[in-house]
Structure 1
Amino acid sequence: MKLLNLLLFALAIPALIHADATTQVLKWKDGKKAAFMLAFDDSAPSQLKNVVPELEKREIVGNFYLVTGNKLYASLQRRWEAAAKSPYVAIANHTFTHKGVNNAAELDPELAKCNEVLYTLKTDRTQPYLLGFGKPGGVPWKVTEEEWNAALAKHNLCNRPPFAGPPINYKSAEQTIATVDAAIAKGEMGHLDFHGVGEDWLVTPVEWFTALLDKLESVRDVVWITDVVSWHQYVTERDSAEVKTLKADLESITLELSCKADPKLYNLPLTLSTSVPADWKSCTVTQGASSASAAVVEGAVKYDALPGGGEIVLKKAP
C-alpha cells in the first residue's frame, strides 16, 4: 500500500507543478480578444432619441458624458433621469458647465457639482464609487497634468482615452466600423466617441451608427463591449494582480488572488485561467458564498474571481 501511495504521489507531481505554473489573469474579461467602448458627449438630445433605444434593443452599453449645469441639461433632465435607470446607460462626468477653467481652484467645483447631479441619477449605488470622466474640447483648461490627476483622484473619477470618433476623425461608415477590426487585430481596447447622432451638432449619420452596432453585435463572442469604469477597474486590478497557489492535488486546487487597488473602488471580478490535471473534464469554482460549475477546455478552466474575495477553490467534478 505504501508503495502504491508513493507511486500515485509521483504521478501527481507534474500535474501539481503544471497547475501552479499556469494560473493567469486574462487580458480581457471573459477571455475576450479585445475590448470596445462607445461614448456620447454633451448630453445631446439626439442621444436620447436615436442612441439609447438602439443600445437597449441590442443590449449594448454606452457611456454618456453629461454636462449637468447648463440650460440644455435642465430642459432634458427628466428624460436623462429616466434613461439613467437603464443598465445600458453608463453616466459620466463631462464637467458642470463645459466652459473650461483658468486654474485648479476653478476645476474642483466643475467636477464636484457635476458629480452631485450624477449621484442623484443612480440612487441604488452606495458611495464612494468611481465615475467616468471626459474632458470637454474646444475650451481652455489651464491646469497642469499633476493638478488634473489630483482632482480626478479626489472626486473618484477615471479618465477616458483621448477623443476619437466620427465625423471628426472618421469620415465614413467604413472608417468608423474599421476601428472594431483594428481593436481585434491588436488585441487592445478600441473606442469611439460621438456627439449628435442623426441631428444636433458634429453629427454622425444614423446609418453609420446602426451599421457600427451591427458590427459590434457580430463580434460579441470575441469583444468585451463595456463601460469606461469597468474597463478602468479591470485594467487597474489586472495590472497589479497576483495569484498564489496555496494547495494543489489531483482532486482540487486552492488559489489566492490579490491586487494593490483600493477594494472600495476596485471591486470588479477578474477572469482567470488555470490549468488542471489531465483527467479533469469539469469542476466547481468556489469563492466565498459564490459557487459555479466550469467546463475544462484544452486542459484549462476559465472563471471569474474577485481580488481579495477569499480563497478560490477549484474542485474536480465527480
Structure 2
Amino acid sequence: MQRFLIQLSLALLGYLSSQSALAQVKSLVWPDNKKAALALTYDDALKTHLDHVLPALDAAGLRGTFYLTIESPFFMRHIPRWKTAADVGHELGNHSLVHPCLGPSVFPERDWVSQSSDLTQYSVERVIRELRLSNEILHSVDGLEQRTFAFPCGDTKTRDGDFADAIQPLFIAARLGGTGFTDLEARRYRLPSLPAETLTGEQLIAYVQQVVSVGGFGSITFHGVGGDYLSVSNDAHQQLLDYLKDNEAVIWVDTLRAIANHLYSGTKPVRNRN
C-alpha cells in the first residue's frame, strides 16, 4: 500500500503540474464532453497479452496500446493475431527491436541486460536505425504510418548521448513514465504513466478517479496480466475494465495514438518511411 501511495502521489504531481502546459494546445476538452482521458498500455508483446488482455479488452469494447518488442516470440509467431488486434482498433506501438536498456554497469541490479542489448554499447544513430526498422515491420502488419513509442526501461541515453529528441520525427508521441513534465513539447515525448505491477483493482481505480478529478490525461503501464512478469492479476485488470466500462460516459479510454492526436491537434500525420 505504501508503495502504491508513493506511485500515485508522484504520478498526480506530474499531471497536476502539467495542466497549464496542456491548456496551450487544448483546454482539456475531451470528446463527447467526457471528463478525462486514459490510455491502457501493455509492454513487451507477452503471451498474457494475447491470451488474457486482448479478449478482455474486446469483450469490454475498449482499446489498448500494445508496445511490441519485435524480437519477442509472442510477436513474431503470432503476427496474424496482432493484425486482427490492429484491425479492431488497438494500437501496435513501437517498443524497439530488442528492448535495449542501460545495463549493469549503470544499474547493477540489471544483470538480465545482455551486452548486445545494453544501451551503453549503442549510439544514437543505431537506436534510430533500429526504431525505423521496427516501424517498417509494424507497418507491414497494420498498414499504418503513424504510431507512438515507449522507451524500454524508461531509458533515453546511449554511449554518445540522449536519443529522446532524435526519435521525434518517427512518432506522434512517446511514453516515458515518471512525472513533473511542465514543458509541453518535452512532455509530448516523455508522457508519464503509472506502473501497474502488483497493484489491486481498487488501487488502479483510485488512480483513475484522481485523473478524473483534475480533468486530465492518464496512462497505465502493464506488463504481465495474470502471468508473465511485473504482473497484475486477471481479477485486478478485469475490475479496472469493468469500472471503465461502467463509467464510459465520463472517461475516454483510447489508444495513446488517438489521445495524442487529440492533444496535439493540427499535427500532420507523421511519416516514418523515407
In the superposition, the TM-score normalised over structure 2's length comes to 0.70
| 1:184 CA drift (Å) | 0.8
Matched, 1:132 2:148: yes
Q: Which of 50, 66, 69 pairs up with 2:68?
A: 66
> What aligned pairs does 1:1-318 form with structure 2 within 5 A after superposition?
27-87=29-89, 89-100=90-101, 101=119, 102-123=122-143, 125=144, 129-137=145-153, 141-142=157-158, 144-145=161-162, 147-153=163-169, 155-160=170-175, 161-167=191-197, 171-237=199-265, 261-265=266-270
Q: Is the 8 A contact 1:32 1:223 kept in 2?
A: yes
Name the counterpart of 1:248: none
Distance 1:28 1:144, change over 3 A: farther
Q: Is the 8 A contact 1:92 1:133 kept in 2?
A: yes
The structure, 1 or 2, with the larger RCO (C-alpha pairs under 8 Å, 6+ apart) is 2
| 1:45 CA drift (Å) | 0.8
Distance 1:234 1:195 in 2: 26
| 1:222 CA drift (Å) | 1.1
Instruction: List per-residue Cα deviations over 1:86-131 (Å, max 9, x = no partner).
Output: 22x21100011102432201111221111011101213x4xxx421
Distance 1:166 1:28, change over 3 A: same
Q: Is the 8 A contact 2:44 2:72 kept in 1?
A: no
Q: Is the 8 A contact 2:192 2:219 kept in 1?
A: no
Distance 2:150 2:156 in 1: 14
Distance 1:122 1:37, change over 3 A: same
Instruction: List per-residue Cα deviations over 1:157-210 (Å, max 9, x = no partner).
Output: 421223422226xx3221111111111111111121101111111111000000
Q: Is the 8 A contact 1:165 1:176 kept in 2?
A: no
**SS state of the match for residue 149, structure 1?**
coil
Distance 2:154 2:32 in 1: 38
Question: What is the RMSD computed on CA atoms of the aligned residues?
Answer: 2.3
Distance 1:70 1:62 in 2: 19
Please tell me the residue identity of whatever aligns with 1:222: V
Please tell me the residue identity of whatever aligns with 1:180: V
Distance 1:77 1:265, change over 3 A: closer
Instruction: List per-residue Cα deviations over 1:270-310 (Å, max 9, x = no partner).
Output: xxxxxxxxxxxxxxxxxxxxxxxxxxxxxxxxxxxxxxxxx
Distance 1:75 1:179, change over 3 A: same
In the superposition, the TM-score normalised over structure 1's length comes to 0.61
Distance 1:207 1:26 in 2: 32
Distance 1:30 1:37 in 2: 17
**SS state of the match for residue 148, structure 1?**
coil
**SS state of the match for residue 213, structure 2?**
helix
| 1:215 CA drift (Å) | 0.7
Structure 2 unaligned spans of 5+: 1-25, 102-118, 176-190
Q: Is the 8 A contact 2:96 2:152 kept in 1?
A: yes
Q: Is the 8 A contact 1:33 1:184 kept in 2?
A: yes
| 1:25 CA drift (Å) | 6.7
**SS state of the match for residue 248, structure 2?**
coil
Q: Is the 8 A contact 1:85 1:121 kept in 2?
A: no
Please tell me the residue identity of whatever aligns with 1:156: F
Higher helix share: 2
Distance 2:132 2:28 in 1: 35
Higher strand share: 1
Instruction: List per-residue Cα deviations over 1:245-271 (Å, max 9, x = no partner).
Output: xxxxxxxxxxxxxxxx343459xxxxx
Please tell me the residue identity of whatever aligns with 2:173: C
Please tell me the residue identity of whatever aligns with 1:38: L
Distance 2:79 2:157 in 1: 26
Distance 1:264 1:80 in 2: 22
| 1:74 CA drift (Å) | 2.1
Distance 1:114 1:27 in 2: 33
Distance 1:55 1:111, change over 3 A: same
Structure 1 unaligned spans of 5+: 1-23, 238-260, 267-318
Please tell me the residue identity of whatever aligns with 1:74: M
